[in-house]
Amino acid sequence: MFFLIRFFLGWLFRLALITLVCVILLQKAFAVSRIKDIADFEGVRDNMLVGYGIVVGLDGTGDTLQDSVFTRESLLGMLERLGVNARDNNLRTENVAAVMTTATLSPFARQGSRLDVTVSALGDATSLQGGTLLVTPLVGADGEVYAVAQGSVGIGAISRQDALRQGRGQRGVSTSGRIADGAIVEREVDFDLNARQNLKLALRTPDFTTASRIAGAINGFVGDEIARAIDPGTIDLFILSQERGGAVSLIADIEQLRVATDQPAKVVIDEHSGVIVMGEDVAIEEVAIAHGNLTVRVSAGPDATPFGGAATDIVIQEDADGGTVALLPRSVPLRRLVEGLNRLGTSPRDLIEILQAIKAAGALKAELVIL
């Protein structure tokens, strides 16, 4: 009796250990991410703002008024609005520059909140250092003014003239600067989340499997069928009337849910820089490789596991008289072959040619993207 109990407990222990190992391996096989890191909610988005303005107070590094007509006309128009008539005079100041100002209006920004502003020279000004941006309206894509910018421009760069005087190399771009908290929001984007009964999630990288998993995770959390994947990049959400806090509370709970993302196997190659990026699931099927004097021997032992075990043996060597080529008998991870080629010192150009040849042979089980 004691022997049977001991045997039963030992069998349970082995089963639990095998189950734990399988769970760990499966967790490693999939990247688990929060929904907020892989998807965006409809309406929760930034808005681009742009404006045209004038920077004054430059130390002789501004636009040449004779060459930059828009700067001269803008300066004259501003002076006229201030009650100064300067049209009959020949303006020769070089302390003024016409600039384009840009800012990003964050979602749900309220009146009175501040935005960072980027200022860039539009004419032939050589530097914006020490300049001050005058009141500049910032408009959205609909032509409405959403913010007003003004303030001292910080460039954080050394101009070419200063670099020559100091005997140093030029750093940064002196014709572009930034004003921290330089714009005040004057108009809000009207969007009430709590008043909506339907919302959509947009996946940043569309995928059928990931979209289905997100919908399943949301329905499992809420306990009702409120989410439905309508295409690889969109999940439709129906907000229950009894949901406490409305859409805001529901979004706060949903965006913390973790989902195992799934993406197609892909190899990205930049031929100019020699950069190669590949995913975890990229594999090679049975193929023979010959490239110059490289000898490639790839084999998978009988103990190879479907979880990518280390039983796969890859031997790569370089022969002076030309190499012989071994056959790849089973599917192995591409990364193992690349690691072996890198240890041999294979150049990025040769590695790219090998990968392209494997893809042309139909043995590379992944999408090959060449930049």
Q: In this predicted model, what pLDDT tens digit does every residue of 305-337 receive, in sequence order?
A: 333 444 445 555 555 554 444 444 556 677 677
pLDDT number for residue 21: 43
Q: Name the DSSP class of 326.
A: -
Q: Which long-range contacts (CB under 8 A, 24 or more apart) does 313-317 make?
A: 314/339, 314/340, 315/340, 316/340, 316/341, 316/343, 316/344, 317/344
- Which sequence spans correspond to the domains of the chain? 47-185, 193-261, 266-370
> 257, 258, 201, 210: which is closest to 232 by C-alpha?
210
- Dihedral of CA 120/123/124/125: which sign? negative
pLDDT in tens, 2-28: 555 555 555 555 554 454 444 444 444
pLDDT tens, 123-143? 899 999 889 999 999 999 999
Given this model, what pLDDT does residue 136 score?
A: 95
* Contact (CB, 8 A) for 127 and 171: no
Give the per-residue pLDDT at 139: 96
Largest CA distance in the chain: 115
Question: What pLDDT score was predicted for residue 360?
Answer: 81
Give the residue among 191, 255, 146 at the shortest CA–CA distance from 45. 191
Highest-scoring range by mean pLDDT, 59-68, 158-167, 294-303: 59-68
pLDDT of residue 331: 60
pLDDT of res. 55: 95
Percent of the chain with pLDDT over 90: 28
- Give residue 287's Cα distance to chain centre: 35
Higher per-residue pLDDT: 215 or 347: 215
| pLDDT score at 302 | 45
Q: Residue 194: which residues within 8 A CB-CB, separation 6 or more?
A: 245, 246, 247, 248
* Residues in the chain, total: 371
Under the banding of pLDDT at 50, 70 and 90, the label for residue 213 is: very high
* pLDDT confidence tier of residue 198, bands split at 50, 70 and 90: confident
Whole-number Å distance between alpha carbons of 260 and 272 = 34
Alpha-carbon distances, residue 107 vs 45, 224, 311 (angstroms) = 5, 29, 52
What single letter denotes the amino acid at residue 356?
Q
Q: Which sign does the torsion angle of CA 252, 254, 255, 256 carry?
A: positive
% of the chain residues with pLDDT over 70: 69
For 243-291, the pLDDT digits (tens) are 556 677 888 888 899 998 887 788 888 877 777 787 777 777 776 666 6
Placement of tokens 């042309």 in the chain: 360
